[in-house]
Structure 1
Amino acid sequence: MGNTLFALHGEAVLNDGGANSFAADMVDASHDTTKLQRALVVGGVGEAAAALYLALFRSPAGLFLQNKVLFYSYYGVLSAIIVFGVAEAWAGLWVSNKRNRRAVGMTVLWLSVLPLFFLTGIAGSAILK
């Protein structure tokens, strides 16, 4: 996924490693089944690992300390992201060349953007704490 180690000879890799390369990798995954599988597995494991790290080692801050409902929703949402990350990785292993499975894989891949935004916001607030 945008790694310069696996670039073909003579191919220029000009990825900034940020949101542009992530979006480009998602578009590439829509055309190639092996890239779709790789994007789902790597994305799912990464999401689950980040959410698990935040749940275990970072306490909620800011808005989540206002009342108990928000405090418990922090851990509830992180738990849901962990489950979604594992399901996304499983979907990456399940996807094959069949058309209906590939469509499910693409749907899961595009839905994985929402937990990434939440994790980015929580990790950013944890870093600034």
Structure 2
Amino acid sequence: MTSTGQDGRRADVELRVPADSAYASVLRTTTAGLAARLDFPIDDIEDLRIAVSEASAMVLPAASEDADLTCQFFMSPGSLTVSVGVEVDAPVDPQYDSFAWTVLATLATDASADTSDGRFTVSVTMAPGQTDGH
């Protein structure tokens, strides 16, 4: 696995934990800390934490046995993109009509799913003040 995102950019921060829902809190806490560092408003930080939880909930059921849950953070002035992904054994069909996807699409400025290269990755971008949900 490389440390680059879908656009080929190197992640500013990458976190790798066992693909188990018990570790989702680590991703949420890291997300909140990085968003705070970028001076996100409290409401947007909480929205991003929820979006990361939903992204984790989407990818974890598809994880290969003994896979890692990888979270990449791409920081830029005014936005934070978080990509949550796992290795998969079989092709995955993202459920765009699921509750989790609805939450992501509402809370994030942008949300996308990628199922290439034996991985299932959900990415969310938050730019404060630019979400559909506010």
Q: TM-score, normalised by structure 1?
A: 0.32
In terms of Rg, which structure is larger?
A: 1
Q: TM-score, normalised by structure 2?
A: 0.31
